[in-house]
Every structure is written in C-alpha cells, then in structure tokens.
Amino acid sequence: MNKSLHIVQTFGLHDVQGRTAHVSNLTQSMVKLDHTPEIVAASYDGNYPETLEVNNVRITYLKSVARYRSLTLNFSARDHLIKRVSEVDIVHIHGLYDLLGPVASKVCLSMQKPYVLETMGMLFPFGRGFLLKRVYMELFGKNLLKNATKYVVTSNMEAEHLEHAGYDPSKITFRHNGVDPISRPKIDEIRSFRDKHKLKSGFQKVIFLGRIAPVKNLEKLIQEFHLLTNSGVILILAGPVDDHKYFHKLKTLIKSLSIQDRVVWTGPLFGVDKACLFHDGDIFVLPSINENFGIAAAEAMTAGLPVIATETCGITEHFEGDAGIVVDFSDRSLVKPMSELLSKKDFNLEVGIKGKKAVELLSWDMAAKLTSNMYGEIAN
C-alpha cells in the first residue's frame, strides 16, 4: 500500500504546528520510503490554490463554505474525495471533530476502501466546545470510530480511552510520534531572543510552550510558580492564544499575585526562536489536564532541558529511569520539583541528559516506517 490519502482539518503552510506539523513530518518521511502520500484539508479563507505540491507531497484544499470552531462544512467535499480516494490504496484520517473525516469515512465505506483513524488524543472531550463535541460524537464520531479498519494511538493512555469507550482493542496500533531534535542556536541568536522579549539577564527560566487553552491547566503552573521562594526566576509562557477568555483569566490571576514583572508572554515561537527558548531555559513544565503525547515537552528533552509533567500526559511514558519528573494534581505538587531543579545544578543536568537520551529514538522516519508496516498488515 504505497499510495495513501491523509485527511486533516487544516494544513497551514506558514503556521506549522499541531496537526499540520504532525501530518507534514509524517508524510515527508513516508516519501523517503517510496510512498506516495497525498493530503486533503479544508481551506477557510481561500488564500491557497486548490492544489499544490510541497516537498513531493500533493496537497488539495477543499474550500469550506461554513465553519463553527473546528467543524467545517463543504458541500462539494464528497465529490472531491471520491476522486482522490479512488486513486489511493488507503485513507488516513488525522483527528476528530471536523466534518471532512466523516465524509471521507462514508466515501471509503461506499468504495470498500480501508481507512485508519488517528484520534490524536481527542477522545477526551475537555474544555471549550464540550457540548458541541458531545453532539459531534453522537452524530458522526461514533460511526467514524466504529467503521475504522485500524486506530493509531501514540500512548497507552490513548489506547485505554479507546477501550474504555467500548471500541475494539484488536484494531489498536501503537505508533509513537516523531520529534525533531532542537539544535543549539548561536550565542548572538540567544542574545537577540532575550532582547526581543525583554528577558532579564541573570534570571533562571521556567518555560511552557503550547496552546493557551484551559486543557493546559496553566493556572496551576502560575499559582505554584508564585510559591517559589527564589525570586530570581521568571516564567515564560509561549504559544498561540487558543481561548481569549482563558488568556484574560490567566492575566488577571498573574496581576492578583503581583508577579506581572516575572511572567513573560512571547506568543507563538518557531524555528530559531523556539530553539532559543529551549536552550536558554532551565526547566520545562507541562501541567496539562490531558495531553495525548506532548510534542513540545519531547522537543525540550531533545535540547537537554529537564521536564516536569502531570501524570495524564503521554510523554511521561518516556520518563523511565528518571528521564523526567511526573507529578499529580494535588496542591503544590509542582513546587518541590521546580525548586529542586532550579537549586541543584547536578540534578538538573542529570535529568536533562537522561531525558535527551530517552527521546533519541522518537524520529519521524521511524514513525513513518511503523505507519508503513501497519498499512502493509491491512493489505494482507
């Protein structure tokens, strides 16, 4: 099965993060295995041509006529998908809570074409749009899941969610995410990054990178950062604002704790800026209520940065042998590990080195090979 069609809600060419980065990295690595992957995504603003090719991967944008949060409606999607599906061996649907996936599922069923569903941690319907997600699952999601030939999961936690929801465990295939190593930037680039974001010299840095959204549980990080007795530490919160109401709630919390001068918001970071964040930081913290994997945490580990993560984050499955620190959701659970990593340089270095070694095998090339093997099993 060398020809695969990848269905994804959005695929940005410039804002490469989240599902876009995931699908882009996976398909480009599959090209190296002599596969011919294609991508179909919805286009909301019409800024992209209908079809283009990027790094030997064909991308087709279906113009969306309606959108509500992550749901997109495209009246001509079925006709487009029939043509594309007829020319491939297998369809790979990335994620839930959009309408392209269910349409692709029905097309596959009508054409007796197998499809795999990568749920990407979305079975846990937390946060913004909770009621809409429940409605979606009743109308589309359950059939989308039931009719899939295989489920792709990237953590044991995700597999447990599927089994708990009553779906066939024999369909579950485990495949880790890939992680691109974060190379060390030049000293001048780090200085420029510090100047750009007005970072105080001589201060230790606790960092977070990800969407600013309720599921990230940033209020816990902010509250417990405030409890650190060391005043020579700043908190850097990086990433796009996914929920503006939540963002303002966090800013109000920071003001009420009188730590505005010790918290820095950078917005989204990519490329060299992201590398500067990781290599100039002292600790990475992922306090999420639910995180299927945690790409940013894994990237931090490739940079040798020690990571603290809550027990419901999939990345903690790679923390064996003290390669990271797992915490629960009890009050002050972050305070002690943050304090120890900031005050004990040898301990900080030890966790960072072990973490870097733990994620060395998490390459996109290996993820593509495992995906290719799964396609082959379906063919047989």
Q: How many CA atoms lie within 13 A of 70 on its CB side?
A: 17
Residues 307-321 have pLDDT tens digits of 999 999 999 999 988
Residue 24: CATH number of its domain: 3.40.50.2000
- Comparing CA positions, the residue from 287, 283, 343, 331 lying closest to residue 310 is 287
Judgement on whether residues 31 and 168 belong to the same structural domain of the protein: yes
User: Percent of the chain, pLDDT > 70?
Assistant: 91
Q: Supply the Cα-derived Rg of the chain in whole angstroms.
A: 21
pLDDT at site 27 = 95
pLDDT band at residue 291 using 50, 70 and 90 as cut-offs? confident
Judgement on whether residues 170 and 257 belong to the same structural domain of the protein: no
Of 157 and 147, more confident: 147
Residues 320-335 have pLDDT tens digits of 889 999 999 999 999 9
Judgement on whether residues 121 and 46 belong to the same structural domain of the protein: yes
Judgement on whether residues 77 and 210 belong to the same structural domain of the protein: no
Judgement on whether residues 371 and 314 belong to the same structural domain of the protein: no
Judgement on whether residues 321 and 372 belong to the same structural domain of the protein: no
Judgement on whether residues 244 and 327 belong to the same structural domain of the protein: yes
Residues 6+ away with beta carbon under 8 Å from 380: none
pLDDT at site 137 = 86
pLDDT at site 292 = 83
pTM: 0.85
Judgement on whether residues 164 and 213 belong to the same structural domain of the protein: no
Measure Cα distances from 87 to 38, 56, 121 in Å: 10, 17, 29
| Number of structural domains found in the chain | 2
Given CA atoms 343, 297, 157, 360 in this order, what sign does their dihedral have?
negative
Q: Where are the beta strands (DSSP E) in 268-324?
A: 283-286, 307-310
Q: Which of 139-143, 283-287, 340-344 has the lowest mean pLDDT?
A: 139-143
Of 271 and 71, more confident: 271
Judgement on whether residues 222 and 340 belong to the same structural domain of the protein: yes
Please determine, for residue 194, whether its predicted confidence score (pLDDT) is greater than 90.
Answer: yes
Judgement on whether residues 57 and 153 belong to the same structural domain of the protein: yes
Q: Stretch 194-222: mean pLDDT, rounded?
A: 95
Please determine, for residue 71, whether its predicted confidence score (pLDDT) is greater than 60.
Answer: no
* Structural domain harbouring 154: 3-178+363-379
Judgement on whether residues 104 and 119 belong to the same structural domain of the protein: yes
Q: Are 316 and 156 in contact (CB under 8 A)?
A: no
Judgement on whether residues 137 and 30 belong to the same structural domain of the protein: yes
Give the number of residues written for the chain: 380
pLDDT at site 33 = 94
The rounded mean pLDDT for the chain is 89
